[in-house]
Structures are given as structure tokens and as C-alpha cells.
Structure 1
Amino acid sequence: MTSSPQLTRRGLGAAAVLGAAAVPLASVAPAVAAPAKGGHHGGDLDTQVEERLAAMSTEQKIGQLFIAVGYGATVDEAREENTTSAGVATTAEIISTHHVGGLIAFAWSGNVDSIEAAAGWTAGAQRAAAEAGEVPLMIGIDEERGVVKRLPAPATALPGAMALGASRSEVHARRAARITADELAAVGFTQNYAPLCDVNVNAQNPVIGVRSVGADPGLVADLASAQLREAQKRGISATVKHFPGHGDTATDSHVGLPVIDHSREELDEIDLPPFRRAVEDGVDAIMTAHIVVPALDDSGVPATLSHPILTGVLREEIGFEGVIVTDSLAMEGVRTMFGDDRVPVEAILAGADQMLMPPDLAVAIGGVRAAVESGEITAERLDDSVRRILRQKARRGLLDGAPEVDPGRAERKLGGRDALRAAERIAGDAATLLVEGSALPLRRGARVVVLGAGSAAVQDALVAALEDRGLEASRGAAADAAGADLAVALTSSSSFVTPAAQVTAVKEAAATGTPVLHAALRNPYDVVHVGEVDTSIALYSDARCSLRALAGIVVGRVSPAGRLPVAIPTADGTGEAFAYGAGLG
């Protein structure tokens, strides 16, 4: 485990500069992770891949380069959202017509309304691929846990990456990855677009934040690699993201094109070490970032479309031989310079292998087909990408056939007692005490009012957890704090600035004279905005396990053991209020 970095900040939007790199920067040949049960290795794997490649048509090879969204609760459901320039299609028709290499699932696309439905959808997709004579699919999902969690209950709600960073525990990182991988496998998923290798050194970052382990490259590398190794050991392809590092941006690449102004030296010290470690540890896939990095490519194109970044740095310098997958091609950050037919061509020429979620699948495939027919994308270049994709599938056993999934029994394998206990243990070890007063612990029967941020469901879950600890708890407004023994005021911010209404609620509760326990449910920066409180704790999460850990802290049954994995600036951004590693527990 790494020691705390020495951070020098150049204001809120600047990078933290380390005195020395936290992990070795020398490139080494990527390790080959153990194949999943039923997979192949060595010469057998190569033979299997080459035989499958030789049997594929050009159209099938092009299709392997695409990961599509298939809308609907079943693969036979025709939904208007599946409409492309080729017309409305079911997910099964997308598979058979476009020969796609994989699919990605979301709640908003209707694939994961329930665990049974999600398992039925993945099984149906693999069945459709088999019936069409296609290669088994890589079916992926963004299951980072924490704030990015796709599977519904009873999937285990875990605190997320920054909570793991606060715990400083590789054991917890492996445990979280094991729970997630086993639950994904039970539902039929074969690839997870996680973990993040972004080093979050910018408090203003609107898109990464608690999705990152933190601000220390060594800590990020340690925990991300622990997670990717555990996932792949359990048959789930890991995908680290977002190369070459999205941690120091003040723009969300979903809606704009961020620029990372790090020097090459800063990139080598801050952003690249976690990706180097992931390559050393045999990660299956690396996702690109839609960000401009002038120190690596001064052309102004995003990294996703940059040959110097993807081929020059990732392939040739770092030595990555696995699959390079783009971030979603529907995001604005990659659509600022080229049309939707041209973006995938530019990505392939840059060195990418798989195109994730093109906004119009037929248009995107048509663009690649035209480039192949003209010779702009050579047959050799096409085969290179398909070979890497097939090799990934072979390593996870997919070329031997799709995994067997029983939709009716899948739910029984999620959210077990051991997983829930592990989640609470992680949450307690992550909770970071930043301000310590005299109000805690409370005696049995004390009256507590819960107020502020969080949905009614979140607040009710905390009330229930407090009642389980023997307290008289209720949900209310700031004025209801008067006369209570404690007010628990919740905040939740997606960036550095805490919403004004939340700040007001905390201050009004404090004005009643009742001791206030402030709990930050997401970013830890809220503590510098809410004014004077008796106690302040960063939870990094509003998951049930974090709320139960908070209730345990209130009665003295849980010790908040976390230490900040990021520094917290002063409210005006001119100084540092809490140093990296702070924590009073």
C-alpha cells in the first residue's frame, strides 16, 4: 500500500503534483490472466481464435467491433428506441443483422427492470446469437457500484471507489469486486466497464468525483488492480477507464470536450501509473476518454480518436495488447469534429478495437464498411482488432459457448447475508470523521431527526437503521430539530459546491441549538460549506450499508476508520481545509 502523497495544488482546477511517481513507470510485458473455467490458454487459445477468425465474413468481422444498446425487457421486443437509419429492430434482429460483438445494458434501456428480467435478457441475447450462427456475445454493464449501479435489488449495494480509497484496504477492494463479479455472472453478464483508473485531483470534477479511488496514483493503482484481478479470476472481463485519465477535468465529456493541461511529466506521475499497473496485471480491456491531452497529442482531437495516444502511448509505450474500447460514441465529447459515420473510422485508425454505443448503429457500421471497402481500413487492420476481441472472449471461455443462466433462480444468488455484512464492514471502515464534537455517542432512546439531502427512501432507510440501534428517529425539516437530542443533516453534492438548499437546511438545524451531525453522502467537500456543526462525517455513499454504518457510529458501535483519499480545499478554493489522509476516527 502506498503512503500519503505530498500534494501541491495550483487552485481547484489544477493537478496535484507528486514529488515522485507512486508506482514504477517502466513498461513491462502485460501478464496473461488466468482464463475462466472452460477457457483455453497458450497455443490452444491462439488456434481457436485463428480458426474462428478464418471462418468469419467481412460483415461479421465489422460487427464484432461494435457494442450496441438493445432496448427492451426481452430480445424480441420491438422498441422505437431501437430505431436506426435501417428502421425499428428488436435486440435479436440487431444481433443477427449487424453481427455485433456485444451488448450493454442499462435501466433506461429497459434491460434490468428486475434481476429475473435481466437474466432472461442476457440469456435471450446469447440464444439469438447462437441461432444466427454468431460468435457468443460479450454482454457488458457499468457496474462500478456506489453512484454508478445498474442492477436493481437484491443486488448488493456497495459504497463505491472513493469509499474503498478511504478504507485504504486492498482486502475490501477484492471483496467488493468478488461480490460484484459473482452477481454479474449470476445474471449472465460477461464484462464490467469498471474499475476506474482515473486519479481525481480536481475537486471541481463534475463527472468523476467519488467514482475514483482518490488523488494518490499509487492508491488508485493498488485498489483498481486488486479489483480487476478479482473480477477476471471469477470470469468477468474487467475494463479500466478512462485512458489516459479523466481525473483533472472541470467539464463533463458527456456534454462537452474537456482539455487536460498536464505536462508529460505530470501525466507520467499522476495519470498514467494506474493504467500501467492494470496492463502489467493483465486487464482484458481499457476504455478511452473523450478528452484532449495536448502533451500527448497537440492536434486537438480527443484521446478516443488520437493515434499518438492510443497507438503511440497505450500500445507501443505501455505495451497493452488487449482490447481498446471507446467510451460511448453518443457522448458529445467525441462528436464535435466528425459525423457519426466517421467517428468509428477515426477511432479504429487511432488504434481502438470496439465502438461502444454508437448513436446510430447502422450509420456507424456503414461508415466502417465503406472504409474497409476503400482500403482506408485494411483487411489486416480489421483482423488485428477482431483477433483481440476473439482472444478476450476465448480467455473468458466464451468461444466454447455462452454461460448458462437460469433466470428463475438468478435472484437467489444476489444480496446474500455474507455480501451485506461485507458491505457494512467496508462502509464503516470508509466513513471518515472530519469534525468531532461532544454529542456522540447517543444513549438508547435518544430522539434523532433526519433532514436535508437524500430521497425519502434514503432518509427512511437511515431512520430505520437508527431505530434498529435503539433510538427514537423520525424524518423532518430543520425546524423539527428543536428539542431533539441530535439532528442528522445529510448533504449530497456531485461537484465541489454543495447545493444552497442543503447548506441552508444544515445551518437552520444548527440554529435551533440542537447538536448537528453532518453526513456527506457523496463528495466529501461539503464539510467546508455547511458552517459550524458538532460532528461531520464523509460517507461517500448513500447505500443502505453506509446508512447502517452511520447509525452504528451514532450509538458508538462503529468506529469511523476512514482517511480522506483526496484533499479538501477551503470553501473559496484558495487553500486547503483538510489534507489528504485526514480523519479523526
Structure 2
Amino acid sequence: MQRMKDRVKQRLGQMSLRDKIGQMLLCGFHGTEPEGAVETLLQRYPIGGIVYFARNVVSPEQVERLSGGLQNIAQVSGNVPLWIAIDQEGGMVARITEGIALMPGQMAIAAAGSVQDAYEAARISGMELRSMGINMNFAPVLDVNNNANNPVIGVRSFGESEEKVAEFGAATIAGFQNAGIAATAKHFPGHGDTDTDSHLDLPVITHDRARVNRVELAPFRAAIAEDVDAMMSAHIYFPALEPERLPVTLSHSVLTGLLRKELGYEGIIVTDCMEMNAIAVHYGTVDAAVMAVEAGADIVLISHTAQLQMEAFDALIHAVDSGRISERRINESVTRLLTFKAKRGVLERENDAADVEQLLNAMGPDPVTEPTNAVASSTVPFRRNDPIHHKVAQRISEKSITRVRDNQHMLPLKRERTLVITVAAEVTSIADEQLDGAATLGAALSAQGLEVVDWMVPADEVAISTARLIQAAEAEDITQIVIGTYNAGSPSVDPQCRLIGWLQQLGKPLAVAALRSPYDLLKLPDVQTYIAAYESRPLAMDSVAKALIGRIPFEGNLPVSLDVD
């Protein structure tokens, strides 16, 4: 430990102010190769890290090459090796979905009920990320989702119980970090009880301090106890925590007063993206970058626009040169950042794939084949996209499928001709970014041997498709109907709800499978057979299909309250 401290101190002493400011910026870019604008950015500015989105991903092999290329540019430019970050939460929020063992999302994992599964899912995901040169994951989500109208968290949360979110979150942090990935607990101090998406506007949470302490902060205290490497701040205003109308990201009272001093957190504080409307519209991305550092942030995340990234860099330099921010304050953050880069092996970046594989194999056992506490004894080689890891994902997914009600005793489905309607996944928040909408519940049921009339309808075309869907349901040979909804429980009456109301009037047995939000049932109180799947990835479709026809039992338990019989 002392050797690491000495090395960090030595490195800090060799850095110019530009080098230090660069370490405090983490930037996104457009493209899939280490060239063009991102190459220019890395050559001209000694930035500390890069964040990947789906726009940067073609395949795991391409991501591995991209990571190596970006690190090489930083190295040739004389810069500190990069954080390479990503939002790989699992389930519906994942930037890499092919060529890996994509794990279910957090609410599905919570519904499956095993904290050990949460650990294993994170550890497998972490090893796969590490094999692609990624060393920081913006996960897990530690927001306690206790607002049915939350448009941005929902199934990204482990649920409405602060105890469960804390327990599952701590296990997930351990899984990622035992795989050598810097985990990031988000969105401090809690984005769960809001009906506003901070990508679009500034949410306000008006709970008193006692309630925030009891509910919202509980998972973050557990994350601190688990030694989480990083915390991501929420662009939310908490009047009980901040006297001025400032979002947490810009609040010295919250980031420094509460998180650092009161809760004793010593890890990295990273902002959520400063181009989100909650910041950009109300404060301006560049001005807010300076305010965030004043508040106590170590990393300013600017995910999209190169011009804003460069302007923020210059603004931070000017803030120090003018005396607005002391260089001592900058040194505090950079010391912390270098320390955690050393902790995660970023400063000792391996130069070839063989070294990476050797590191991965030294990290510990494959969580399927050996006990997870036998950390140093594994001889099982790590393989990305390993069938064993896919089996872990499948097992968790199958355990998560939840039968909420079956008052008409429709399940398992009869082996008869069935109309199956799938409402296609749609991007409801920038957090989703993009979704694969090709899989249908009908195809999954057909693969299980059910005779199916298969319809897939984009969410925004449900209204104009209603007449045709009712006509298909009226056919004499259709004896039962299954519809997979996608966020049908919006604040206003959704066309999906209207469609289901019309279909119910036909008098044929009808089952609803919620392929994202389990809260859909709150808008569909008359539905007699209701299943919660928590996501619409192909794996979840297969799991729902198996449960519907009785090949597997319904083992999941709702992580949120629906107040249903």
C-alpha cells in the first residue's frame, strides 16, 4: 500500500496542470475505430477516460481492438492510461449484447431471489468486460424504485425494498470488483422516487431528511461498506439536503458535506452525463463542469459532444488559473483517481491479449464450477461467451419469471391455436439508448411447440393496428390470446390498455406478460392472468414461453408492490 502511495505521489509530481485537469474528464465519442475525432481528442487533451455506448460497439472482438487502440494513443501521447467505462447493467440497459453472456437486469435478478446469483452475474459480466479492455462499469443501480411512474429507473432497480437493494447491490459490487472492474454505485443519493427523467428535466424529490436517510441512502451506505470504487451523482434536487436549488451533482453540501464527510466515502465521485437536460438546460454543460468540481466531483462525464468536452477542459484550466478552484483541490481528485487506477491495474496496463488472459485466469474461479470464496485457486481458464456462463444467465432468467395472478386458471396454456401479440421494445429513455426488437413472444412459444399466430407491433402503432388485431383474435380457430406488453402503464391511458380491453370483450382466455415494467398491471386491473418478465431480451422471451406452457415452474417473486389479489 505504501509503495502504491509513493508511486501515485511521484506520478502526481510529474504532472502539469493540463495533465491533472485531463484526468478529471471522461468523454464519449462517435465511431467504432480508434481514429478520427477521438484520436485527435486523445492526442490534444490528456483526458482520463472514455465511455462506450452502443454506437461504439460492433462485436466483442472489435471492442477489444478499440480499447487497445485508444490506450495505445494515450500511451504514445505520453498520457496516463485510460479509464474505459461502459453502462453494462444487464437486461434492458446494456451496450454490448452479442457475443457475450448477457445477464438479466437487476429487477429480474431480484425476482429470482438469490444474492449469490447477483454476485455471479456481475462477476461473469466483469470478466467479459475486462477481456475487452474495459475497466470501469457504471453499475449497479442502487436506486430504490418505489414510484410506479418512474420513467427512467424501473426494472433497472433491484426493487422497492431498501434492504433488498442494499443486499443485492453490495453483492453486485463485489462481483464486478472481484473481476477487476471498478464498479459504480448510482445514482447517489437516489433516483428511485421521481416521475421525471433527469435526461429531460430536473427532478425534485421533496422527502425530509429522515426519510432520505432511512430509504434512499441505505443502499449507498452498503456500497461504501463494500468499498465500491466509484459513486455516480444524480442530477436531482433534494431540498432536504441542499438549501439552494442545485442538483446533487452541483451541490457541495451533498457531494462533500454528506457523501465525503458524513458518510465517509473515500472513493471516486463521477457525475452523470453533463449533457443531460437537468444540467445542460438549467446550468450549461461547460459552466456546470466547473461547478461539479467545486462541489466535490472527481470525474466530469461528458458523453457526446467533442466541442463541449474541449470547452469544459479549458474552463477548468481557467478556473484554476483565476483562483476560483485551487490546485490543491485538483490534486485531491487526481491523487484519488491515480490511486484507483493503480488499484485496478490500469497504470500497469497489459500490452497483449496473453497478459490479459493470464490476469483474468488469476482472478479466481469460474463461479459455476467452484465456490466463490476460493478466489485464488481456480485452474479453469476464462472464455468469453462461454456456454457455462450462458447457462448461468438462463438459470437466473428462468427463476425470475413471476406469475402475479391466474384467476381464470389459464396456465399452463392449452396446446391449441393461440394468437400471440408482442408489443415491440421501444426506447423510452436515453438510458436505453437502443434495443433489439426482433424477438417475439410468439416465436418463443412456437419454438416450444405451441401452434401460434404471431404478431409483433411497434408500441407507437398499436392504436392503428387494433382493428386488425381484434379481427385476428376473432378467428374461430383462435382459442386463447397472449399479449406481451411493453410499458403499458404510462401515466395516461395507453393504446395497449385499450387494445387489451377490446380483446377481453371477445370472451376468450387472455394472458398478459409484461415484458418490461411489472407496473403495467396497475393500468390493467381487470386482467385475470398476468405474468411479470421484467425484460424483453430474447432470453427472457424464451423463459416466459417455457413458463407459460408449463415446462418450467413460475419461481419469481415481485420485487415491487402491485396491491393485487
State the TM-score, normalizing by the size of structure 1.
0.83
- Aligned AA for 1:44? R
Residue 356 of structure 1 deviates from its aligned partner by 0.3
Say whether residues 1:427 and 2:386 are aligned partners. no
| In structure 2, distance between residues paired with 1:316 and 1:153 | 42
Aligned to 2:388: 418
Task: Tell me the amino acid that sits aligned with residue 96 of structure 2.
Answer: L
Q: Deviations over 1:289-312 (max 9, x none)?
A: 111111111201110010110000
Structure 2 counterparts to residues 343-422 of structure 1, below 5 A: 343-357=288-302, 359=305, 360-402=308-350, 404-405=352-353, 413-422=383-392
Once residues 510 and 374 of structure 1 are traced to their aligned partners in structure 2, the CA distance between those partners, rounded to angstroms, is 68
Write the distance in 1 (CA, Å) between the matches of 2:281 and 2:56: 30
Confirm whether residue 464 of structure 1 aligns to residue 452 of structure 2.
Answer: no
Q: Which consecutive residues of structure 1, in runs of 5 or more, have no partner in the other structure?
A: 1-41, 79-89, 569-576
Q: Is the 8 A contact 2:422 2:485 kept in 1?
A: yes
SS in 2 for 1:144: strand
CA contact (8 A) 2:150 2:195 kept: yes
2:411 aligned with 1:440, yes or no? Answer: yes
- Does the aligned pair in 2 maintain the 1:451–1:478 contact within 8 Å? no
* Residue pair 1:451, 1:459 contacting (<8 A) in 2 also: no
Describe how 1:58-69 pairs up with structure 2 within 5 A: 58-69=17-28
Give SS of 2:90's match.
Answer: coil
Displacement of 1:254 in angstroms is 0.9
Q: Give the alignment partner of residue 544 of structure 2, picking from 507, 531, 550.
A: 550
Equivalent runs, 1:504-523 vs 2, <5 Å: 504-523=498-517
Distance 2:49 2:452 in 1: 48
Q: Within 2, Cα distance between the matches of 1:494 and 1:281?
A: 37
Matched, 1:535 2:505: no
Q: Report what 2:181 is aligned to.
A: 236
Equivalent in the alignment of 2:97: 152
Distance 1:452 1:544, change over 3 A: closer
2:167 to 217, 222, 227: 222
Question: Per-residue deviation at 1:140?
Answer: 0.3
Encode CA deviations 1:333-391: one digit per residue, 9 max, x unaligned. 12344343321111111110000016401110111000111222112111100011111
- Pairwise CA RMSD of aligned residues? 2.3
Deviates more, 1:236-245 or 1:546-555: 546-555
- 1:282 aligned residue (210, 213, 227): 227
Residues 334 and 458 (structure 1), Cα distance of their counterparts in 2 relative to 1, 3 Å cut: closer
1:185-205 deviation digits (Å, cap 9, x = unpaired): 122111000101111111111
1:499 Cα offset (Å): 6.0
Matched length: 514
Contact 2:121–2:175 (CA under 8 A) maintained in structure 1 = no
> Distance in 2 between the 1:370 and 1:324 partners?
22
What's the counterpart of residue 432 of structure 2? none
The answer to whether the aligner puts 1:94 opposite 2:94 as a matched pair is no
Is the alpha carbon distance of 1:112 and 1:498 closer, same or farther for their aligned partners in structure 2, counting shifts above 3 Å? farther
- Aligned residue for 1:453, secondary structure, equals strand
CA contact (8 A) 1:491 1:521 kept: yes
Counterpart mapping for 1:208-357 below 5 A = 208-357=153-302
SS, match of residue 285 in structure 2: coil
**Which residue of the partner structure matches residue 31 of structure 2?**
72
CA contact (8 A) 1:119 1:405 kept: no
Task: Report the alpha carbon displacement of residue 403 of structure 1 after superposing the two structures with TM.
Answer: 6.3
User: The residue matched to 1:519 in structure 2 has which SS?
Assistant: strand
Map of 1:524 onto structure 2: 518
Q: Given residue 547 of structure 2, which amino acid in structure 1 is its aligned partner?
A: I
Q: 1:223-274: CA deviations, max 9, x gaps? A: 1110011100001100010111111111111111111101000001110010
- After superposition, the Cα gap between the structure-2 partners of 1:490 and 1:497, relative to the gap in structure 1 and judged at 3 Å, is farther
What CA deviation, in whole Å up to 9, does each residue of 1:428-477 have, x standing for no partner?
2222211113222235x532221141259757543332233222223133
Aligned-partner Cα distance in 1 for 2:514–2:226: 34
- CA distance, structure 2, for counterparts of residue 55 and residue 494 of structure 1: 56
Give yes or no for contact 1:115–1:152 (8 Å, CA) kept in 2: no
Q: In 2, distance between residues paired with 1:535 and 1:95?
A: 55
Q: Is the 8 A contact 2:279 2:285 kept in 1?
A: no
Shift, 1:511, TM fit: 2.8
Residue 118 of structure 1 pairs with residue 63 of structure 2: yes
Q: 1:284 to 1:413 in 2, by over 3 A?
A: same
